[in-house]
Structure formats: C-alpha cells, structure tokens
Structure 1
Amino acid sequence: MIERGPLRVLSLYEGFFSGGARVLHSTVLAGLHAQGRQQHAVLSIHHEVRREATLQPMTDDPRYLALRAAGVRITSLGRSTAGAHDLERFTAAELATAYRQAAAAQVVLSLKEQPLRLVNQPGFPDRPVVACLHRSDPEHQGPALDQLLTAATSGRLAAVACCATSTRDAYAAAGVPAHLLQVIPNGVDLTRFRPLSHGRRLAVRGELGLPADATVVTYAARYDAMKNPRLFVAAARQYLGRVAAGHVVMCGAGMDGANADLRANLERMFADRPDLRGRLHLLGVRRDMERVLAASDVVALTSTFGEAAPLCLIEGAMCGAVPVTTAVGDSARIVDGIGFVTRSDAAEIAATWAEAAARRVELRHALTAARPRFSHVRMLSAYASLVERASRGAGLTLATG
C-alpha cells in the first residue's frame, strides 16, 4: 500500500497588506497547514505594497509573520507597487518562478481574483485552481473580473469560494458559472476573540488611554472609500457631541496622524468643537485587535459598497462589543439578533451607537449564544473539503476555444 503525503497547495497573493481578506485567508492556510493533511505555501506577486498612504513591506506584515510561524513557506516575485512594473505583464524570470512553484503544487488557490492574471498566462501549469473571493462588488474590480471570467471559461477554475451569499449572488450575476460558486461563511478563532474579565478589560483601557467609565466605539477598517471613513468621522462628531462619556477609537491602515486626508477630514469635521478631538483616538494598525475590541462597547462599520462578510463585525461581537453596521453585503445577516443596522446617515448612526452601548449588557447572552455560529473550526473544515475535492480534478485537460 502506497502511503501518500500531505496535499501540496500553493496560494497566490497580490501582496501582504492590511485587510480582512488577507487576515481570513492567512487564518485558513495556517489552520489547514497545522492539521497536517495539507502542506501550504504562498507566492506573493509583490514584496511591498503602497496602500492607505503607507508602504507596507510583506516581512513586517502580521499575516506574513503568523504564516511563517506556522511553518508555511512564503516567497515573492519581488515586485513593489512603488516601482514601475506593468501590472498586466510579467518578466520571463517572474513567470519561470511562478511556473516552477505551481508545478510543485497539486492545487492552486488565488486570494481574490487579481492574481488570476498570473494563472491565465499560457504557460501556467495545468493545476486545479480555486479562487477565494471576499467582496460583493465585481463591478469595482476592474480588469480582475475579466481575469476571473477568463479562468472560468478556459476551465482552469475548479471552484470559487465565496465568503458570503452576497458574494455568490454578485459574481453569479457578473457571469461566473453558478456551479463553481460555493459559500463558506467567515469564522474567527474563538480562543483569541473572546470577552475579557472586568479587571483585564479595565487594564487594556488604561493602556489605550481610555477612561474606565467611557462608552467606547471602535472602528476597525483601512482608510478606503469603500469603508466610507468620512461618514464614520461625521458620525463620531455627532456621537462625541451628544455622549459626554463617549470615546471613539479608529484602527487600521491609514487610521493615524500620518494620513493627510484623515487629518484634513478631522480638522474640517471638528472645526466647531476642537475640544471633542481629545476623545477620538487614532491607533493605526494594531496587532492586538482582540484586546482593543474586548475593551470596546460597540464595533462600528460605515461601508457603502464592497463588503461581503466583514471580519471586524464578527471579531468585535465575539469579544463582547455590540456590532452596528450599514446594510452592505452580508452585514445585516451577521448582526441579526446581536446588533443593529443603520442607514448611511451620521445622526442615525451616532444615535444607534449610543443605543447599542446602553443595551450591551442586555445583549450579552445573545452574543455568547452566537459564538458557535462564527467558529473558524467549521470554516477550516469547509475549506479543507473544497481543496481536497479540487485536487481530485487535477490533470483534466483545459477547455479550448
């Protein structure tokens, strides 16, 4: 009897930078690699990426460090978005590296559709490809949607993993064959994202400069138009003006004083009440979001498009913060019974934050009861099965014409 080794899987990343999709995918890879039945590796097209006014080297990224710590091999084509690379063209050396690594794998995963421009190169090895999608706006993905449709038409795609029903529905409407689209809801590590004891919660607040009796609203998002940070700042101005004990925390790439756009927005919005700015805290990128969220009363999202199953809402809720979100993607489904949905209106959002904080104790049981629904154990099992099913289609001849 021949003993088979672990299934070899290569993930293609556009790059390592802050964002929920990379957090989620990296969690999946580390978890599956640790189980031993699959051996995962990552090839990143870029070694550094400029986003949200910040140049983010991959070796500094928490996802990169977590994957390396889990034993996942990571390499890069060496590109930088700060350079003069043609995004749609690859050098012979880059293609040779990518082909060699893909040939050594049995299944290829693509984190979002952008890396499929590499998969669609004529010489790319014939391996089953699973595209992992984490947004609900294919119309905003530019040529990446065309790359996804090309991969589907050519027969390269074995499956498309969608993190939300809104993702599945949007991409089906965009022309991706329905039989390829499979929903695997997002999950988080419940041993990491959990409420803190009262004493530890107060200690974290002290570290963050938050009063023990503050009513804290936390925004965990990168500074991007889809997140609508301007709406959040407008709501924060209203909230701080009406809730004397209110404090607002902003975390994520670009959520710091180095971001000129954010600074200008804050100066404009708080021009009439500069005193309120002292209760708004810019924390930037954090590697301990579980502690920040557990010290919060409310986790907020003000996105207007693009979201599918936002991790910040799940992570915040699992830490005991009440989620309040606009109705985008699967957000309303995520917070059903444990949080609130608002219109994109600053006054309504501010009022709902205050209501959510006031009802946090009342909702504590519902937040606790919802924990099994968001476990990453279920998510890992679903991804493992999908990858294994894809591997059984290896070696099929690609469609032509």
Structure 2
Amino acid sequence: MLSLYEGFFSGGARQLHSTVVAGLHSSGRQRHSALSIHEEVRREATLQRMVDDQRYRLLRSAGVPVTSLGRRTDDAPDPRTFTEQEMERAVREVRGTHVVLSLKEQPLRLVNQPGFPDRPVVACLHRSDPEHQGAALDDLIVAADTGRLAAVVCCAESTRDAYRDAGVPASLLRVVPNGINLARFRPVSGARRLALRGATGIPADANVVVYAARFDTMKNPGLFVAAARQYLERDPRGHVVMCGAGMSPANEDLMAELDLAFGDRPELLERVHPLGVRTDMELVYAAADVVALTSVFGEAAPLCLIEGAMCGAIPVTTPVGDSARIVDGIGFVTGFDPAEIAETWIEAAARRDELTAALTKARPRFSHVRMLAGYASVIERAHRDAGVLVRA
C-alpha cells in the first residue's frame, strides 16, 4: 500500500493518516510506504521540512519507507503539472504496490496523470467543504468518473454528506470515524498536571483554555482572540494557551490580531501563551481545563476536540462538521458570538470535575483500534475487488 501525501506539515489530517498507516504497517497485516509530493512546505508563516515533521518521524519509526518527489513551495513549480523525472519516480514507487491511498483529494492530480500505473485508489477525506477545495474537487470527480477510485474514506458523516452532494457517487463513500491512541492521550496525575503548568508559567489555580489550530481562515483565529479577550476580562484566573503552526510571536498576523484585541488592556496579554507547534500536545491538553474550537467551516471530526477531551479537558466548539456529535454528553456547542463563547469556557471549566466521569465513559468510542479496523477493511476490499488476492 502506498500513501500519497501533498506534503508533511502540521495538521490533524496528516496526524490521523500517519497513525493509520503506522498502525496497519506495524500490525503486519499490510505493508505500507509513503510518497510525498513536497519535501518542504511553507504554510502559516512557517517553513516546514518533511524530515523534521513529527508525522514523518512516526512513520519512519514504525518502519514505513517514506520518499518524496523533492518539490519545495518556495521554488514555485506549477502545482498542476509534473516533470518527466517526477513521473518516473512516482511510477517506480507505485509499481511495487497493490493499492494507492491519497491523503485528501489534492494528490489525485498525480494519480490522474497519463502514465500513472493502474491501481485501485482509496481517497481519504478529512474535511466537509468540497466547495473550498478548488481544482482538487475536480480531480476527485475525474478519478471517480475514470474508474480509478475504488473507495472514498470519510472521517465523518458530514464529510460523506458534503462530498455526495458535490457529485461523488454514494457507492464509493465509506465512513470510518476518527480515533486516537488512548494510551498517549489520557489524563495525568494532579502532581504531574501542576508540574506541566509550572513549566509554562501558568499558576496552579488557573482556569486554562487551550486552542490547538493552525493560523488559517478556516480555524477563525480572530474569533478565538476576540473570545479570549472577553474570557480574560471576566475570569481573573483565566489563562489562554495557543498551539499550532502560526500560533507564535513569529507570526506577524497573529501579533496584529492580539494587538487589536488587547490594545487597551495590555496587562491581559500576560495571560496569553502562544506556544507555536508542539510535539507534546497530550501534555498541553492534560494541563488544561477546556479545549476550544472556533472554526467557521471545513471541519469534519476535529482531532483537537477528541484528543483534548481524552486528556481531561472539556471540549467547547462551534457547530461545524461532526463537532456537535463528538462533544455530545461531554462538552458544549456555542454559536459564533465571542461573549457566548467566553461564558461557555467559564462554565466548562467550572463543571470539569462534574463531567470527568462522562469523559472516562466515552473513551472506548474514540479508540484508534476501531478506526484501524475500519481502514483495513476498506483497503482490503479495494484490493480484493481489483482481482488481487489479499494476503492475510
């Protein structure tokens, strides 16, 4: 099995897909490899190299071979075309595989190129806004119309519904809900929690809201910052932690958002902690009381809500994708008003102890073991239906 990545950079979809690939490969049931179109990507004011990426390292540590076509976004190649050398490398990688997995629809422009080997393709989709995917949606439709697509894995019901409405045949769509490694994402002891707070300069008795998102319009960081202003004014013990690509002082756009929101109350900014990209999010979540999402579109089954909740933080989300289903019984859904969001963060932090039992009870439904079984079933069916015997 060969997975096609647009590139290795910070994001929930890449984390999720890499967890799937590493898990299936490590089980010995399937043999996986990965091919990335880019080896270096500039996103959210951050240059992200494949070899430095946490997901790349996860795959390599699991024994998954990872190669690249060598593209760099700073070189500004035409994203819609591929050189003869790039196609030769891609063909070499594909010839040794039985099934091709495409992480999201963007890499399908490579699959649709003349000369790409005839293999069943499984597209793995992680958003609910096909209308915002530009030419990538066209690539997905072309792959379906030409018979290249064997299946489309949707991480959420909202994904399935949106892409069905966009013209993808319903017969191809399969829903496999997101899951996480519960051994990694779990609550920590009280002493450990206090130590984690101390390491970031957060008081032991603080009410901590964590925001894990890249600096992108879809994630609506402006709304989060506006809600943070309201929250920090109303709760003198409140602190806000921001993690993700572009969520650091190096991002001038983020600093402009913070200056605009806190210009008349600069002392409140002392309780805002922009930490940037973190590789230890399980510890960040475990030190928090609330995990927040303020996205305005595009979300399907956000990993930050699941990961944060399984570490003991109460999820509070806007009504996008399957977010309401995810937090049902364990968290809160708000509208897009900053004051409402701030008040809900305060309520969620106050009710954290009350909701702990519900979070514990919900853990089995978010296990990545169930997710891996779902992906394995779809891949093996694609393999079988292509006329190739599946090796048990």
TM over 0.5: same fold?
A: yes
- How do 1:1-400 and structure 2 match up within 5 A? 9-394=1-386
Q: Secondary structure at the match of 2:32?
A: strand
* In 2, Cα distance between equivalents of 1:212 and 1:29: 39
Q: Secondary structure at the match of 2:380?
A: helix
With over 3 angstroms needed to count, the CA separation of the structure-2 counterparts of 1:297 and 1:278, relative to structure 1, is same
- The size of the alignment, in residue pairs, is 388
Runs of 4+ residues deviating >4 angstroms: none
* In 2, Cα distance between equivalents of 1:272 and 1:336: 37
* In 2, Cα distance between equivalents of 1:33 and 1:209: 40
TM-aligned CA deviation for residue 395 of structure 1: 5.6
* In 2, Cα distance between equivalents of 1:395 and 1:85: 37
TM-aligned CA deviation for residue 394 of structure 1: 2.4
* In 1, Cα distance between equivalents of 2:183 and 2:175: 24
* In 1, Cα distance between equivalents of 2:387 and 2:260: 59
Q: Which runs of 5+ in 1 are unaligned?
A: 1-8, 397-401
Q: Given that residues 190 and 371 in structure 1 are in contact (C-alpha distance below 8 angstroms), is that contact kept between their aligned partners in structure 2?
A: yes
Q: Secondary structure at the match of 2:33?
A: strand
Q: Say what the alpha-carbon RMSD is for the aligned residues.
A: 0.7
Spell out, residue by residue over 1:344-381, the C-alpha distance to the aligned partner (whole angstroms, 9 max, x if none).
Answer: 11000000000000000000000000000000000001
* In 2, Cα distance between equivalents of 1:111 and 1:209: 38
Q: TM-score, normalised by structure 1?
A: 0.96
Q: Secondary structure at the match of 2:321?
A: coil
* In 2, Cα distance between equivalents of 1:265 and 1:303: 16
Q: Percent identity?
A: 73
Q: Secondary structure at the match of 1:97?
A: helix
TM-aligned CA deviation for residue 45 of structure 1: 0.1
What is the identity, as a one-letter code, of the residue corresponding to 2:152?
Answer: V
Which residue does the alignment assign to 1:5? none
TM-aligned CA deviation for residue 84 of structure 1: 2.3
Spell out, residue by residue over 1:132-164, the C-alpha distance to the aligned partner (whole angstroms, 9 max, x if none).
Answer: 000000000000000000000000000000000
Q: Secondary structure at the match of 2:385?
A: coil
* In 2, Cα distance between equivalents of 1:222 and 1:253: 5
Q: Secondary structure at the match of 2:79?
A: coil
What is the identity, as a one-letter code, of the residue corresponding to 1:130?
Answer: V
